[in-house]
Amino acid sequence: MTDSYIALARKWRPKAFNELVGQDHVRQALVNALRSGRVHHAFLFTGTRGVGKTSIARILAKCLNCEVGVTDTPCGQCASCREIETGRFVDLIEVDAASRTKVDDTREILDNVQFAPTRGRYKVYLIDEVHMLSTHSFNALLKTLEEPPPHVKFLLATTDPQKLPVTVLSRCLQFNLKRIATGQIAATLRAVLEQEGVAFEPAGVALVAQAADGSMRDALSLLDQLIAFGGGSVAESEARAMLGTVARDHVVQLAERLAAGEGPGLLRCARSLEQWAPDYAQLLDELAALLTRVALQQVVGEEYESDELYAPELIARLAGEFAAEDVQLYYQTAITGRRDLPLAPDPRTGFEMTLLRMIAFRPGGEPRMPGAEPTGTAAAASPKRAAARPQESSARHSPQPESPPGPGQAAGAGPALEQQWSALLAQLDLQGAARQLASHCVLIAREGGRVQLALDPRSRSLRTAALEEKLAQALSRHFGEPVRLEFVAAAEAGETPAEARQRASRERSEAARRAFESDPGVQSFRERFGAEVISETVRPVK
């Protein structure tokens, strides 16, 4: 007869402080207390389910009662350590407060407090979910907490410390256990699978770690379930099937259509997911998580390390296709839509409206129709919007700046150079973060296929290998020959296109302020009523 199977959550439960995951602040405090001999008589461990509250309490009980002596590294071999691990130690009294809430139950437990331990050095009371005790039970416990015998230690655990009376809180050393980071959970699960000899795909492990929501116990239970579901292995496809999540390719497709601003394509992609009966709230969570990775890539570039779910090359590509401001808008819309999903007529409708809201509110225009020409990082402007800005059409007929220098020519200097680069940038097929990189540069020279640029030092975070490659490819397509970029340091390189836009905006604002203050009606108000103009509230008419 074979031995009965032990669940992973029980088999891999921490048995010593060095096996704890993600609770270094608690471990360090307890280790120092044990080494110095200053061990308080009452500890309160708080935190969500599965983060290690009762595990820490049992390890502390072993530390106090190990036959080697009070230590922060119990031997795990003596009778006391083995009995505590198996739940048979007579001086470790474990109480489930959720099922024993009556005052008579509490008094029955505490009646033996004054008696010395039977086997161990200390009598340890471990009360789980202590917030479930009744008011009378708390009163009975409080007296013992105020004047405990020297041989008694209380270890209290709860997921809801707000329900504990302040009189109890004030008599305990309180330790708040944190949710365990997804990366730490995934690393632990991989180590467990290697020890168990189970084949796995890193993406499948990452999905389990995400679904655990900060709980190591939940992660190990889900892993147990996935191993059974997958027939003895851990694969991404089985993990998605078990957890009810759609393939990450679908999330990437949604992101790509968002980047392109294609409303019809985005809606078709969203409706194609219905066959998988997805959890739309979870789908919005995954989309928001992907947008977070894209935003991090745009800010820190190559220093950002991607996870197992999405390849670094994919994140770098999306970072170049999205405008930074669009990423922030889409992320905020996703999490707001996630919150409002229960208010929608049905989850699918709420999900689709969230996606449509993203592109409807994107800066600069409406959703791009199939075949429409891209205009920078925003969608093509509508006829109404174009008609409202006649100055744009007149600008098209104004004299154009000089063309950028041809092959083998060095770029000039001064205002002409800045105009050349601005004109070239307007002609490039470039979007998103790559266009932002170009707009913060100044053209220094072009000699054959070599283009020298000076980057504004304040925008160094935009310079990544992926974005440089996009800019070089766009220049190559424009000039019809391979282009190699060189970034040089130049203290006085000139005004970048981004700085030119900011200067023009300031000049328009200043002109609007002067025009407003010189208006006869405004002057009349100032003279007759002593009115004052708040300059910063004056905006130019667009």
Give the CATH architecture of domain 415-495: 2-Layer Sandwich (3.30)
Give the per-residue pLDDT at 220.
93
Q: What is the pTM of this model?
A: 0.55
pLDDT for 34: 93
Question: pLDDT by residue (tens digit) across 389-432?
Answer: 333 333 333 334 444 445 444 444 455 667 788 888 888 888 87
d(CA 386, CA 313): 37
Query: Across residues 535-539, what is the average pLDDT?
Result: 70
Average pLDDT over residues 487-496: 77
pLDDT tens digits, one per residue of 172-231: 999 999 989 888 999 999 999 999 999 999 888 988 998 888 899 999 999 999 999 888
CATH topology of domain 248-360: Zinc Finger, Delta Prime; domain 3 (1.20.272)
Helix (H, G, I), strand (E, B) or coil at 199: strand
Q: How confident is residue 375, by pLDDT bands cut at 50, 70 and 90?
A: very low
Please report which confidence band the pLDDT of residue 134 belongs to, taking 50, 70 and 90 as the band edges.
confident
Q: Would you give the end-to-end CA distance of the chain in angstroms?
A: 83
For residue 226, the number of C-alpha atoms closer than 13 Å in the C-beta half-sphere is 32
pLDDT score at 498 = 84
> Is 379 a residue whose pLDDT tops 70?
no
Per CATH, domain 8-176 is 3.30.565.10: no
Q: Could you tell me if 133 and 98 are in contact, meaning their C-beta atoms sit under 8 angstroms apart?
A: no
Where residue 459 falls among pLDDT bands split at 50, 70, 90?
A: confident
Closest CA to 268 of 282, 254, 281: 254
Amino acid 491: pLDDT: 63
Average pLDDT of every residue of the chain: 81
- Beta-sheet strand order (sheet of 152-158): 92-96, 123-128, 152-158, 42-46, 173-176
DSSP code per residue over 295-326: HHHHHHGGGPPP-SSS-HHHHHHHHHHS-HHH
Spell out the residues 6+ positions from residue 62 whose beta carbon is closer than 8 angstroms to its own.
15, 74, 76, 80, 81, 84, 85
Give the 3-state DSSP-derived string for 380-441, with helices as H, strands as E and coil as C: CCCHHHHHCCHHHHHHHCCCCCCCCCCCCCCCCCCHHHHHHHHHHHHHCCCCHHHHHHHHCE
Q: What is the pLDDT of residue 541?
A: 65
Local confidence band at 307 (pLDDT 50, 70, 90 cut-offs): low
Domain ranges for the chain: 8-176, 182-243, 248-360, 415-495, 500-537
State residue 191's pLDDT score: 93
At 284 the pLDDT is 92
Whether the pLDDT of residue 233 is over 60: the answer is yes
> Parallel, antiparallel, or unpaired: how do β-strands 92-96 and 123-128 relate?
parallel
pLDDT for 156: 92
Q: What is the mean pLDDT of residues 134-149?
A: 84
CATH of 182-243, picked from 3.40.50.12780, 1.20.120.1200, 1.10.8.60, 1.10.1740.10, is: 1.10.8.60
Each residue of 353-374: pLDDT tens digit?
Answer: 999 999 888 765 444 444 444 4
Q: What is the pLDDT of residue 244?
A: 67
Beta-sheet strands, E only, within 137-198: 152-158, 173-176
SS3 113: coil
